[in-house]
Structure 1
Amino acid sequence: MITQKQRLYLLKISLTVLAFLLLCSCASKRDLVYFSDLSAASVVSDPKKENVKIAENDLVSITVSSLSPESDRLFSGNQNVLADASAPKIGYRVNKEGNIRVPLIGDYTVKNLSLDEARWGITDQLSKQIKSPAVDVALLNFKVTVIGEVNKPATFNIHDDKINLLEVLGLAGDMTVYGKRNNVLVIRTENGAKTMKRLDLNKQEALASPFFYMKQNDIVYVEPDKAKAFEYSQNTRILPIIIASISAVAVVLAVILKR
């Protein structure tokens, strides 16, 4: 016959196990709201936007419109490339010397120039050959890769060199509920060196970071939180066994305490 003291002891054990399970089941608090510290009247200045520079091996699109249709046709291979993502990427490849070969001009150095600087320089050179040229220069291989806890991880070809981090996350279908908004990693390659920066998208200070605006070949990694890591951990495969065992113990205790 179980004594009253033993019953109390078993009851304490049961309560301890129950408390432990409750603590284990409590996930850490997560802030799923972007820039949750922004007030209704907050004004945040954009960071100084660094112009995208043309680099070796970039594929450059040049389109020209002038009073000379014959000359314009020399650049017609680039027409509508940016408007149609499925179109073949016909452009001018930057060689190891930093040059592209431009019709009517010949070899022209564009490496380390911004798109505007390249446009101004090519316009100036073409003005010596044709009348009133209107020139547009764009990058055909501007791409950003988004991986990790997003709904559609992929590499995206970008047609706007002023795209920001929120916009590329939107292209990737936004973060999942497991994505750590306070620890988004941006990996950037410039001049052969990689730079890594972590941004907290729960705080408005991320808006002022130079890594908030994307550059070609940036990689964005959204880290999963501990809840996701636990869900896919090998240890979780024994969780049903533990729960079943605890349930059996609870049934036995209930029977004993009724006696």
Structure 2
Amino acid sequence: MAPDTAYLALEAPLLRLQKNDRIQIVVSASAPELAAPFNSGVGSYRVGDDGNVSTVVDRSSSTSGYTVDQEGTIGFPILGKMRVEGLTLEEVREMVRGALIAKEYINNPTVKVELLNLKISVMGAVGSQSVLQVPEAQITLLEAITQAGGLSILADPQAVFVIREQDGVRKKYVNDIESKSIFDSPTYYLQQNDIVYVEPRVAPTTPREQRNRQFLSLSIAITGFIVSMYTLFK
């Protein structure tokens, strides 16, 4: 990147839900008792035709949120199965809110949706290889590297890989974080379960490899000396 040069900042893409993601959905209303049946962790309820609320056992929800199953759905109290795979958090919020209003359970509900499993694995030539638990909805590649202790002295900044799985297919992206092209990379903004690998310039050698290299260098030197002496006194 050139100093004192402005580069266009791209808008962060919205995260879309994938299978095995966990989300938390919290419903609020002016009358708390109306929202309680729809909140995870308070038990499950059924609203009868007469408007009465009865408690039932619902094992599809828990305090840890809702897991997107292999069909791309979640089991939501009272509303039943809802397909959320491929949707953004805002789209899930509007879907739940719209269903509550359409079925006349709550006239003007407030719905909050959060992704609970936004984690990034950072490996290779960094200060501290780790799995980052990200509390926010977005994190950039540069932020992830910084949180992992930054690049080590062995790191190659032109070989920063991001391995991403989408629709059952894994793909490796190569990034040069010293180039302005990093801001145009599809992996500049990371997604849930991305793997970041920083390739070292030269792989560190083990003590045994160092001894072998020293022995090889010594052998080459001795051989060269013998050949030189043989040529000299031939």
TM norm. shorter chain > 0.5: yes
Aligned partner of 1:69 in structure 2 is 32
| Residue pairs, 1:202-213, within 5 angstroms | 202-213=178-189
**Which residue type is aligned with residue 43 of structure 1?**
A
Q: Offset of 1:89 from its aligned partner?
A: 6.4
How many residue pairs get aligned? The number is 196
Match of 1:147 among 123, 127, 130: 123
Give 1 or 2: higher strand fraction: 2
Q: Offset of 1:59 from its aligned partner?
A: 1.0
Structure 2: any 5+ residue segments left out of the alignment?
43-61, 222-234
| Separation of aligned partners in 2, 1:207 and 1:161 | 18
Distance 1:73 1:152, change over 3 A: farther
Q: Offset of 1:237 from its aligned partner?
A: 2.0
Structure of greater relative contact order (alpha carbons < 8 Å, 6+ residues apart):
1
Distance 1:231 1:89, change over 3 A: farther
Structure 1: any 5+ residue segments left out of the alignment?
1-36, 79-87, 247-259
**Aligned 8 A contact 1:52 1:115 in 2:** yes
| Separation of aligned partners in 2, 1:110 and 1:183 | 35
**Which residue type is aligned with residue 28 of structure 2?**
S
Cα deviation digits, residues 98-130 of structure 1 (max 9, x gap): 211222322111111111111111111122311
Q: What is the TM-score when the length of structure 1 is the normalising length?
A: 0.68
Please tell me whether residue 181 in structure 1 is matched to residue 157 in structure 2: yes
Cα deviation digits, residues 69-124 of structure 1 (max 9, x gap): 1233341539xxxxxxxxx9610111222211222322111111111111111111
Cα deviation digits, residues 112-168 of structure 1 (max 9, x gap): 111111111111112231132111111111211001111111112222222100111
Please tell me whether residue 106 in structure 1 is matched to residue 70 in structure 2: no
**Which residue type is aligned with residue 2 of structure 2?**
L
| Residue pairs, 1:1-259, within 5 angstroms | 37-40=1-4, 42-47=5-10, 49-74=12-37, 75=39, 77=41, 90-127=64-101, 128-226=104-202, 229=203, 231-232=205-206, 234-238=208-212
Q: Report sequence identity in percent.
A: 31
**Aligned 8 A contact 2:28 2:110 in 1:** yes
Q: What is the TM-score when the length of structure 2 is the normalising length?
A: 0.75
**Which residue type is aligned with residue 52 of structure 1?**
L
Point out the structure with max Rg over C-alpha.
1
Distance 1:162 1:230, change over 3 A: closer
